[in-house]
């Protein structure tokens, strides 16, 4: 019975840490750029995009397709980088969580 109590405490602690980590991820940001700084995207590690900046000096208004490609690539990179950080932080929380019979 002691192992069940220990497991329950471990689960509750991991749940609390996960909630705290998710709140922190909403505030933590990553930045991605493309086109030599023509497009800059800042995203939160919770997957939301915080800002998109375009440098009008480096953009060609005649090439909308290139701008669309740079925006898509940069937004996806920022979100992917943020998700990687979130997964790393979650792994720190769950690494010590051992369920009996599952290892």
Domains and CATH numbers, the chain: 2-94 (3.30.1310.10)
Structure tokens at 21: 């980590």
Q: How many angstroms separate the CA atoms of 37 and 57, rounded?
A: 10
CB 78 within 8 A of CB 48: no
Above 70 in pLDDT, residue 73? yes
Above 90 in pLDDT, residue 29? yes
Return the minimum-mean-pLDDT range out of 28-37, 53-62, 64-73.
53-62
* Rounded average pLDDT over 81-88: 92
pTM of the predicted protein model: 0.74
| % of the chain beyond a pLDDT of 70 | 90
């Amino acid at each position: 019975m002691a192992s069940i109590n220990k497991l329950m405490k471990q689960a509750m602690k991991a749940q609390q840490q996960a909630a705290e980590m998710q709140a922190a991820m909403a505030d933590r940001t990553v930045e991605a750029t493309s086109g030599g700084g023509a497009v800059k995207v800042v995203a939160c590690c919770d997957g939301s995009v915080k800002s998109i900046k375009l440098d009008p000096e480096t953009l060609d208004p005649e090439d909308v397709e290139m701008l669309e490609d740079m925006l898509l690539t940069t937004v996806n990179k920022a979100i992917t980088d943020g998700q990687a950080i979130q997964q790393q932080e979650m792994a720190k929380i769950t690494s010590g969580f051992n369920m009996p019979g599952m290892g």
